[in-house]
Structure 1
Amino acid sequence: MKFNFLYPSIQKDIDEVENELKLAVSDADAETISEAALHLLTAGGKRIRPMFVCLTARLGEKYEPVLSRSAATSIELIHMASIVHDDVVDDASLRRGRPTIKSMWGNHIAMYTGDFLFAKSLEYMTRVKIEKAHLLLSQVTVELAVGEIEQIKDKYNFEQSVRSYLRRIKRKTALLIAASCGLGGIIADLPEKLDDKLYLFGYYVGMAFQVTDDVLDFSQDEKKLGKPAGEDLSQGNVTLPVFFAMQDPLLRKRIERVTETTSKEEIEHLVEAIRGSGAIEKSEQVATDYLNKAARILDEFGNRKEVKPLRQIIKMLDKRDY
């Protein structure tokens, strides 16, 4: 899903960020790592995080394109690094329809590629001479790491609570999107109250984004997902559709038998059962509720033209199917 066609005014920003990402991963002294990072970059992506930085940075009296693009590049590099590490932990072979770095170069190269991308993100943030921005990004990155550890600890734990799931996706996904919006507000030099509102807006969008991702893991096929349907369940990651599906006692018993050795055929049968349980629709409503909360926050910014693209993104996210 590409969003930038909605607002040509930031096309230059997105193009510049894309160029900076290519420069960031191109390092003659680290040829193998650079090749691996470029493999991930060219697989594409929604670039929703840098987009939010550039859009929210426009809400101030004066737009700072250089600072915005640097912060946007940094936050996308953090996201890319987390993806690489995620694929190692999950032993994932496909990402965005292409082989993962770990499946092509092995775990060692993949882990160091992730570290390389994290280091590059720090390099780009040095261009933003605002202490508050650095504190925000460092805090969120710590939370991201904690979220990843929580996911590892809770694999195949079908007794965990929905609250644990929501806290985990907040740390793994929502806070980085929240930081994207908060960084834009900081760069725009908005009053702290408004910057906090943007951060909360991003949090709600991020929660909806991850819940929708978890829904799509069951509702779409491998061709559209770029990975096998039901892969989260197969890897032991208990997501919102699974919680809703386990409200059916018989289906819960089947789901609780899932382990690392569960066959692909059984996962496929479970995917079909979850699709027919009403869990998808209930989860979609949760995502919509989060987006509605995000939309209400934007009401506090009035009818400014800079707010319109943010509203358009909410509408598109509510309809996305990949």
Structure 2
Amino acid sequence: MTLSNPALSDQLQISMRRINRDLERIVTTDPDIASRSIVRKSVLELIRSGGKRLRPIMVIVGSRFGAKPESTNVYQLAAVCEFIHAASLVHDDILDQADTRRGQPSLHKITDVKTAVQIGNYMMSRVLELLSARTKDRDRNIEELASLTTTQLCLGEYQQMDNRYNFDLTLEQYWEKTRNKTAVLMATSLHLGARASEADESVAKQLYEFGDQLGMAFQVRDDVLDLQQSTEVLGKPAGADLRNGQVTLPVLLAMEEPAIDNHLRKLHEGAPDHLFDEAITLIRNCGAIERALEVSHTFMQRAWDITEQLSGHPAHRDLQTLWHYFEKRTY
């Protein structure tokens, strides 16, 4: 995936080097992990494989609304948020049977499924260990992030897995899964940064809402791009979500046409490729993609409105930089 230049971290004057250093320290400072273990090696390779680091960037931006921005504590929380995200991707790739991640083999293809599951479990457990060892702002920050780790992200993954090829999925169920799987961590990242820097609680709540709206738009656009772009551009099969049984917003909107509804209900795990190819063509040509993008624009407009509500803070310009980055997002 490529996004507009210069890099978001450069636009916001955030040190990616510092974020990556703190990320690596989460595993390299663990006395229970041998220096040559497959766990340490695999986690470091995951960290070094790249990524946009959106969530730690959000933590740091959120901190700029408080009295103690970009402190050591803030950067450590930023690294933890990215570590949670990376762990969720390990499990996500296994559940989605995705062979690649960012154009490279997924962890479970490099190792095996059992090993990858254990590495993902270690990463989540390591986060909880680090958070439980912290004492500063325990009630305000740590419990929120620990709860997120153990409940909503896992619930979102389960909801996705449990609803494979469920063409009776409701819009309400889709939104709940999307919020749990994607939007909550983005919203929490901004919220945590604000609270860690002692921002006003009302401001922290507005930042949470901004992150939630941005996260919902982000996931809808992911759903659209999966169906809209070519295999060559995506680096994975076009329509990979549908081929894996994921019923996304464009699919739900397309199913409002009886003929498409009838065709999609023929799909199952063992269905031939040509049925999926035909389904993707039908979805692309029925207007569902455009309608889904309109929904995404609605979320983005709500997010923009929040940046204007926070215009009394100089850091609101950083929120607008984030907003423009997401708005221009493309593969």
TM-score bracket, shorter-length normalisation: over 0.9
Tell me which of 42, 50, 61 is aligned to 2:48: 42
Query: How many residue pairs end up in the alignment?
Result: 319
Q: Does 1:140 align with 2:148?
A: yes
Which residue of structure 2 aligns with residue 264 of structure 1? Answer: 273
The amino acid of 2:20's aligned partner reads: E
User: How far off its partner does 1:30 sit?
Assistant: 6.0
Task: Give RMSD over aligned pairs.
Answer: 1.7
Using the alignment, how far apart are the partners of 1:88 and 1:204 within structure 2?
A: 27
Using the alignment, how far apart are the partners of 1:5 and 1:124 within structure 2?
A: 29
> Does the 8 A contact of 1:59 with 1:306 survive in 2?
yes
The amino acid of 2:76's aligned partner reads: S
Q: Residues 286-305 of structure 1 correspond to what in structure 2 (within 5 A)?
A: 286-305=295-314
Using the alignment, how far apart are the partners of 1:303 and 1:312 within structure 2?
A: 16
Which residue of structure 1 aligns with residue 107 of structure 2? Answer: 101
> Does the 8 A contact of 2:66 with 2:200 survive in 1?
no
Return 26-35 or 206-215, whichever deviates more: 26-35
Tell me which of 272, 275, 281 is aligned to 2:284: 275
Tell me which of 299, 306, 323 is aligned to 1:314: 323
The amino acid of 1:24's aligned partner reads: I
User: How far off its partner does 1:5 sit?
Assistant: 2.6
The amino acid of 2:144's aligned partner reads: L
User: How far off its partner does 1:257 sit?
Assistant: 1.0
Which residue of structure 2 aligns with residue 241 of structure 1? Answer: 250
User: How far off its partner does 1:185 sit?
Assistant: 1.2
The amino acid of 1:15's aligned partner reads: R
> Does the 8 A contact of 1:205 with 1:294 survive in 2?
yes
Return 280-289 or 311-320, whichever deviates more: 311-320
Which residue of structure 2 aligns with residue 88 of structure 1? Answer: 94
User: How far off its partner does 1:127 sit?
Assistant: 4.9
Using the alignment, how far apart are the partners of 2:44 and 2:224 within structure 1?
A: 29
TM-score (norm 1): 0.93
Give the percent of matched residue pairs that are identical in Structure 1 and Structure 2: 33
**Partner SS state of residue 37, structure 2:** helix
Q: Does 1:191 align with 2:200?
A: yes
Q: Does 1:7 align with 2:12?
A: yes
Which residue of structure 2 aligns with residue 51 of structure 1? Answer: 57
User: How far off its partner does 1:124 sit?
Assistant: 4.6
**Partner SS state of residue 220, structure 2:** helix
Using the alignment, how far apart are the partners of 2:39 and 2:228 within structure 1?
A: 35
Q: Residues 108-123 of structure 1 correspond to what in structure 2 (within 5 A)?
A: 108-123=114-129
> Does the 8 A contact of 1:178 with 1:203 survive in 2?
yes
Which residue of structure 2 aligns with residue 214 of structure 1? Answer: 223
Structure with more helix by fraction: 1
C-alpha offsets along residues 159-208 of structure 1, whole Å, 9 cap, x if unaligned?
11011000001001110111001101111212221111111111111111
The amino acid of 1:18's aligned partner reads: N
C-alpha offsets along residues 10-38 of structure 1, whole Å, 9 cap, x if unaligned?
2x2x2211122233344535621222223
Q: Bigger relative contact order, structure 1 or 2, given CA contacts below 8 A and separation 6+?
A: 2
> Does the 8 A contact of 1:70 with 1:128 survive in 2?
no
Which residue of structure 2 aligns with residue 129 of structure 1? Answer: 136
**Partner SS state of residue 64, structure 2:** helix
Q: Residues 142-157 of structure 1 correspond to what in structure 2 (within 5 A)?
A: 142-157=151-166
Q: Which runs of 5+ in 2 are unaligned?
A: none
